[in-house]
Amino acid sequence: MYNCPMHSKQLLKGTLQTIILKLLSEHKRMYGYEITQQVKLLSEGKISLTEGALYPALHKLEAEGLLISEKVYIGKRVRKYYSLTQTGSNTVTTKLKEFSDFVSTMQAVLNLEPKLK
């Protein structure tokens, strides 16, 4: 799912849903390819989502009722836009909290200082 020029591929596992949901909470609707580009931009090229991970993840989130999709034709090409459902919208907050807790806990276990700005 990730093609990360750093060496922390393992660490990125489990973050894909959080990333997708958070981006959609800021953009109303996005399509798959757009998400990959946005992630690449925000991570300064450090994270490249692979299609083999992204599309199944989007399908799963839709099946679970967190996202809904709509197909839009751009000329002859299909785009599948995804947006948050109400459930999905509520889940974003939970996911972000979980990520923060995770970081805090790991910093405690690894005896690391939280970073200052």
Q: Which of 1, 3, 14, 64 binds a copy of itself (CB under 8 A)?
A: 14
The 31-50 site mask, x for binding a copy of itself (CB under 8 A), equals: --------x--xxx-xx---
- Cβ contacts of 113 within 8 Å, gap of 6 or more: 107
Kindly state the tokens that stand for 72: 């839009």
| Binds 64: which of a copy of itself, DNA, none (CB < 5-8 Å by kind) | none
Q: Are 25 and 83 in contact (CB under 8 A)?
A: no
Kindly state the tokens that stand for 6: 């750093």
Task: Tell me if 15 contacts a copy of itself by CB under 8 A.
Answer: yes
Of residues 55 through 94, those in contact with a copy of itself by CB under 8 A are 94
Q: 3-class DSSP state for residue 48?
A: coil
**Residue 40 burial class via C-beta count within 10 angstroms: exposed 0-12, middle 13-18, buried 19 and up:** middle
Segment contacting a copy of itself by CB under 8 A, of 57-65, 70-78, 79-87, 109-117: 109-117
Task: Tell me if 112 contacts a copy of itself by CB under 8 A.
Answer: yes
Nearest residue to 15 via CA among 3, 27, 29, 1: 1
| Binds 99: which of a copy of itself, DNA, none (CB < 5-8 Å by kind) | a copy of itself
Binding residues for a copy of itself, rule: CB under 8 A, are 6-15, 17-19, 22, 26, 39, 42-44, 46-47, 94, 96, 98-106, 108-117
